[in-house]
Structure 1
Amino acid sequence: MGWLFLKVLLAGMTFSGLLYPLLDLSISGKTRAPKPNIVIILADDMGWGDLGANWAETKDTTNLDKMASEGMRFVDFHAAASTCSPSRASLLTGRLGLRNGVTHNFAVTSVGGLPLNETTLAEVLQQAGYVTAMIGKWHLGHHGSYHPNFRGFDYYFGIPYSHDMGCTDTPGYNYPPCPACPQSDGLWRNPERDCYTDVALPLYENLNIVEQPVNLSGLARKYLEKAVAFIEQASTSGRPFLLYMGLAHMHVPLSVTPPLENPGSQRPYRASLQEMDSLVGQIKDKVDHMAKENTLLWITGDNGPWAQKCELAGSVGPFFGLWQTHQGGSSAKQTTWEGGHRVPALAYWPGRVPANATSTALLRYCSIPTVELLESMGACRLSAWTITRPSTLLGEPKLVMGARVLSNSTLPLSFSTWKTMLQKLRPYREEAPSTRRCCQRSPGFLQMSFKTLLMTTAPERTTLRTLR
């Protein structure tokens, strides 16, 4: 009789759900897929037209073009802002500057940074068991608790702000020219204040300054070495990892290793772009070697090129905004015109991200409902890409609906929204470049961050911020 009662009790507990947690624990180790690794590479001041896969006139991004043919290229991808700090703050928090409090660039003299009540992607992934690293330009506060090591990154190697915000021992190419740090002990001021010669640019490893002033010509090589070492160590440890790289390319002053013997015979920007392309290619090769099937590799830009730097600035492709430049303005960095925030973007993840695909979707792409599901990530929902088509890397651009797109593109631009942050107030009307008139399109800042990768597309939308 006692055994019969026990059987009934166990059956009742099972059907009431009390044993479900125990059952889940017993099978979770067998059913859950490993957590994906995430590599984010953020280029600095890279124009939409600097990517050869976007713009046929560019011939200097062989590795990036190959990555585009093996992954997905987003041709209508927009940064959250057209300048450094606000764009980077939005990428790491998933919130626009008006919400996260970062609306301007931080300076050398800034004592604050990304507000401490903001949760970063690195902090969330740390709690999920990830090992995290930030390599490169931070520019979200460099004092006290604003340092990357206190914002979710286990390891940090890089510079605290832009490399034109401090003198270096090898200034690189810049307009006006950046002088090297003074060799004497006396204080030397640059009256134009363009290169911030009062302070030598520091290079940090975690909380320690390991070099000051920075050897700018060797900085890219050091970034590459640290990134490769981190990928190797993290992969060997068996833990999932987040690597966030803020490249010095393509911000001025431009550096090329080794320096050009005759800058007049070769455009410094082109040589620097080739160097960046090689760096990204080597990181991709390391990812392919260590964890190809389980790593999302993403590369994009923080904003458009710095047009005031003339031939030392990148290409905006077709988004050159003659309607504004005729009035003395600029279509690129630091403006709300499209060339300032429309940036190249590539996603690479064999077996998860479709190969040789181009998407005109503005915001929708591979998404995961909640951070808990990182432990059981399956294939990305392809329905997230509402408009995809085979990539045409070699196609010549032509005018379609007022914008230069690839030769077999017959679909209109697809605009979607996240949290209704973008409204199309007027239809976009633009004539051919030779007869272009005033643009009727209302540009808007969009939030595009890797927290969007961890959002659901239907029906309940759970962002990482709700998991704080």
Structure 2
Amino acid sequence: MKQILGVIFILLSWNLSVFGQTKDSKPNVIIFFTDDQGYQDVGCFGSPLIKTPNLDKMAEDGIKFTDFYAASSVCSPSRAALLTGCYPPRVGVPKVFWPNLPGGLSNQELTIADMLKTKNYAAACIGKWHLGDEAQYLPTMQGFDTYYGIPFSNDMSVNPKSKVSKNIVFREGMTLDSLREKKWRGRKVPLMKQDEVIEYPVDQSTITQRYTSEAVDFIKKNKDNPFFLYVAHTMPHVPLYASENFKGKSARGMYGDAVEELDWSMGEILKTLESLGIDENTLVIFTSDNGPWNLENEQGGSALPLRGFKNETLEGGMRVPMIAQWKGKIKPGSISNEVASTIDFLPTIAYLTDAQLSEKPIDGKNIWHLLSGTKKGKSPHRKKGFYYYKESTLEAVRQGDWKLRIIDGEVALYNLKNDISESNNVADANPKLVKKLRKMMTDFDMDLKQYMH
């Protein structure tokens, strides 16, 4: 009997140590963030036509979240929330930033990169930034050692005041004089390295490949040191592009081509981690910044079975696919139906790295217990709610399975467990619940606006 108990104890101890009861003091962290990719646009989330074998394998090796949210339904606010752990209005980023206009994420905010610098992490931002294109707002002023990417959405233009590299490559007949003109040239965007434009306009057909190459090089360079890699892909935001290896290959048209190349990109990153033997010390997260555009001709993605699109606080605008993998720490094949969000990344990473949080209030919570499956715990947002902002207006709250949404005085209550498509408004049948959730919204919004950074 003692021998049997001894074996059981050993097995339990191994299970606890392997699947998250212990933590490494300096794990690597990779966040792979796509642009406007819909909830359904991954094979393991139900896409009927888009093939994503690498993301599907990542879910098999890790965990898939079915009720995961971006903190905004548009670009800049969503990115500010991910990096700071706060709802966008709290850090002064309620709207989308535009080239050559003032504004950006204050470099006085603590980003994930800032936080990890105190733990001697190398930090790289690759891809879309969209948190201000003036020098004071660029990634290298926000905790990142290196930056390579397009500083905003790929359908925008260029800041004529941009710093330009001596070795800049001009394409499509552009010159330094034309770059300096104030004329708006939609969809002609710059490629930057550090704080300089190195190509204008950038060849977007190769951008996913180039981001991937930069990411792989960064991982190889820092394989013996702790690192944070933020890969914020430009695709599948419109205009859509894919390299010759993927163009015309997907059954879902150009949108599918772009997403399938993103899947290849993730595969290259995961393959690199494995080949270097550091996949067991690296947390890898995949998700999207918001839901898909409502576009025709297969230019936009799909949020089915959710209702709504980008720029809306319906589920389709903010609920996004999320997959996480950490070999030996996250149990393979896990699925979480608990509410979690990009605002939870910063405090979770702080916990895993023993890094210090800001003294300023944040909204995110540590969700390591959900990622690791070490407890049958509930979402840390279950009691106090998860909130849906559109710009500076609070439009909805979710508590447990219930979601209250109020637009221009119109009240809608949905049970998301039974009605994922938000098609059955049951507000009239639940007046007490409506009153309770409305008060939660009022109280939270007042608190947030009292303690904005």
One fold, TM greater than 0.5?
A: yes
**Match status 1:204 vs 2:192:** yes
Whether 1:217 aligns to 2:183 is no
- Which stretch of structure 1 is more off in the superposition, 262-271 or 93-102? 262-271
Of 313, 331, 337, the residue aligned with 1:336 is 313
Q: CA deviation at 1:373?
A: 2.5
C-alpha deviation, 1:166, in angstroms: 2.6
- After superposition, residues 12-411 of structure 1 pair within 5 angstroms as 33-55=24-46, 57-166=48-157, 183=173, 196-197=184-185, 200-235=188-223, 238-258=224-244, 267-290=253-276, 291-320=278-307, 331-363=308-340, 367=348, 370=351, 373=354, 382-383=373-374, 386=377
Q: Which range moved further: 420-429 or 141-150? A: 420-429
Distance 2:133 2:422 in 1: 48
* AA matched with 1:334: N
Give me the whole-angstrom Cα distance separating, in 2, the residues matched to 1:296 and 1:371: 10
Q: Name the CA shift for 1:414/1:129 in 2 (closer, same or farther; >3 Å).
A: closer
Between the two proteins, the alignment pairs up a number of residues equal to 359
In 1, are the aligned partners of 2:416 and 2:422 still within 8 Å (CA)?
Answer: no
Cα pair distance change 1:220/1:56, threshold 3 Å: closer
Task: State the 1:432 CA deviation.
Answer: 8.1
Where structure 2 has 5 or more consecutive residues not aligned to the other structure, the ranges are 1-21, 159-170, 357-367, 388-396, 405-412, 428-432, 439-452
Deviates more, 1:347-356 or 1:197-206: 197-206
Q: Is the 8 Å Cα contact of residues 192 and 199 (structure 2) preserved in structure 1?
A: yes
How far apart are residue 268 of structure 1 and its match? Answer: 1.1
* Structure 1 residue 277: Cα displacement: 0.9
- Mapped contact 2:68–2:321 kept (Cα < 8 A): yes
Pair 1:310–1:97, CA change in 2 (3 A): farther
User: Deviation at 1:83?
Assistant: 0.2
Q: What percent identity do the matched residue pairs reach?
A: 33
Give secondary structure in 2 for the equivalent of 1:66: helix
SS at match of 2:229: strand
Higher strand share: 2
Does structure 1 retain, via aligned residues, the 8 Å contact 2:125–2:146? yes
Between the aligned partners of 2:107 and 2:350, the Cα distance in structure 1 is 26
CA RMSD of aligned residues (A): 3.8
Structure possessing the higher radius of gyration over alpha carbons: 1
3-state DSSP of counterpart to 1:278: helix
Counterparts of 1:83 and 1:128 in 2: how far apart (Å)?
Answer: 31
Q: State the secondary structure of the residue aligned to 2:152.
A: coil
1-structure distance, mates of 2:246, 2:144: 36
Gaps of 5+ in 1: 1-30, 168-180, 321-330, 388-412, 445-467
Asked if 1 retains the 8 angstrom alpha-carbon contact of 2:127 and 2:234, the reply is: yes
AA of the residue aligned to 1:153: F
| 417 and 141 in structure 1: CA distance in 2 versus 1, 3 angstrom threshold | farther
Deviation at 1:182, TM superposition (A): 6.3
Measured at CA, do residues 60 and 159 of structure 1 come closer, stay the same or move farther in structure 2, by a change above 3 Å? same
- Superposed displacement of residue 275, structure 1: 1.0
